[in-house]
Amino acid sequence: MRLGSQAGLCERRAGQELGIRIPRPVGHGPSRFIPEKEILQVGNEDAQMHTLFADSFAALGRLDNVTLVMVFHPQYLESFLKTQHYLLQMDGPLPLHYRHYIGIMAAARHQCSYLVNLHVNDFLHVGGDPKWLNGLENAPQKLRNLGELNKILAHRPWLLTKEHIEQLLKTEEHSWSLAELIHAVVLLTHYHSLASFTFGCGISPEIHCDGGHTFRPPSVSNYCICDIANGNHGADEMQISPTGSISTAESLCEVEVLMEKMKQLQECRDEEEASQEEMATRFEKEKRESMFVYFSEEEELAPTRDVSRHFEDTSYGYKDFSRHGMHVPTFRVQDYSWEDHGYSLVNRLYPDVGQLLDEKFHIAYNLTYHTMAMHKDVDTSMLRRAIWNYIHCMFGIRYDDYDYGEINQLLDRSFKVYIKTVVCTPEKTTKRMYDSFWRQFKQSEKVHVNLLLIEARMQAELLYALRAITRYMT
């Protein structure tokens, strides 16, 4: 018998003798998608990682599973923790309990009970009124008024107008100041995108949280209820290898094909540049095609009462912006960009946050180790830009200097399904989807994809919100 099993048996016997039920973790490690042996074990970290873990623990009072997965990329993690700490705990327009309650509202829109549970505890810890947790109707009217903004930003940000902003700022009672609203918008977009990361990486609940423990002895049939909710229906599916039914040779071939396409696209770029008209046509074509990238066909799950009580209009969800005859004008980045417009607006109304967000966006976008699977000294910038711009394209955001024809060359269908699910309806992400893209890439590379997804998503939401605020101000 292994030592761990022996210790567990002793614990259970001691618990039985004392009449105490001893909890046991449901999953194996911080993620249901990533094998535990591939994640850095606490105690085996180097000095830099140790400092990061210590900073995380000091800021949050815990070392959560999001941190343990993000640590694949310490440079990004450091920036993420610094930003989150500033938003939640440093001087700012909103009181501490409001910040955590807004985090609960935002995470609940995506049925992310993992983040909701964390912030329920934090909300109570900073003196929040427990009655507010019985449902949004028990919270102050000022917070309830954020419901519409939360809903639109989470699911259809292109519908946000200056009238929505005016309603929040000009309500006779319970009105928001511009600085408070900027703080709220950044918190909402932060937690919408963090819900995408949580589902996209299959983050497991910590042992002390709901869904993170069981009192039953281990058995083959014992798997987490959140696996069912996320389409992982049993032990047999959990055993699927990262390559599925595809041989290693074929997977290796996939990597080679992708590298060859990157090389050919670079050569085409060097030889000739498409006209502006052609670039615009390719954008519209990619935008239309993105509507026909479907999610998992599984039955949609209704949000549980535990999560749905924190938001209104539970039937409101993601809808493609060009469906049902709707036409949403293209958001052209040269008319309103993060670098030229959004950054300065945020920094003016909520000092230092624009700088922190800017640094985090840049790290995620430019992060590279010059590798692709087993290949070294690779320039991955073309691939990273295709992923980022595809997400913005799904939100109707266009870069005039980008050839959208590259997206179809570099992102295959299973990858597009994964991207769209994680970004638009993260609660529908399954292990099968995670396993089906980039089968021969390292787990750290897949986590890097998720960092690109959440930062591109956050920036897209922010662009729509900040543009609406700018239009209201002018």
What b/e readout covers 262-300, taking b as 16+ CB neighbours within 10 angstroms? beebeeeeeeeeeeeeebbebbeebbeebeebebbeeee
Q: How far apart are CA 191 and CA 473, in angstroms?
A: 26
Q: Are 290 and 390 in contact (CB under 8 A)?
A: yes
DSSP 227-260: HHHTT--SHHHHT--TTTTS-HHHHHHHHHHHHH
Contacts of 399 by beta carbon, 8 Å cutoff, 6+ apart = 333, 389, 392
- Catalytic entry in 10, 112, 253, 268: 112
Closest CA to 192 of 387, 446, 459: 459
Closest CA to 75 of 363, 311, 306: 363
The 8-class DSSP code of residue 203 comes to B
Q: How many residues does the chain have?
A: 474
Closest CA to 187 of 225, 146, 220: 146
Q: Are 346 and 466 in contact (CB under 8 A)?
A: yes
Strand segments (E) across 381-444 = 397-398
Structure tokens at 67: 């941190």
Closest CA to 399 of 321, 287, 288: 287
397: β partners: 331
Q: How far apart are CA 345 and CA 354, in angstroms?
A: 8
Q: How far apart are CA 118 and CA 104, in angstroms?
A: 9
Q: How far apart are CA 35 and CA 209, in angstroms?
A: 21
Q: How far apart are CA 421 and CA 394, in angstroms?
A: 11
Pairing state of beta strands 331-332 and 375-376?
A: unpaired
The 8-class DSSP code of residue 201 comes to T
Tell me the residue type at 340. D
Structure tokens at 382: 């073309």
The 8-class DSSP code of residue 159 comes to G
Structure tokens at 405: 């024809």
H-only helix segments in 90-146: 96-109, 113-125, 141-144
**424 is an active site residue:** no
Q: Which residues are catalytic?
A: 112
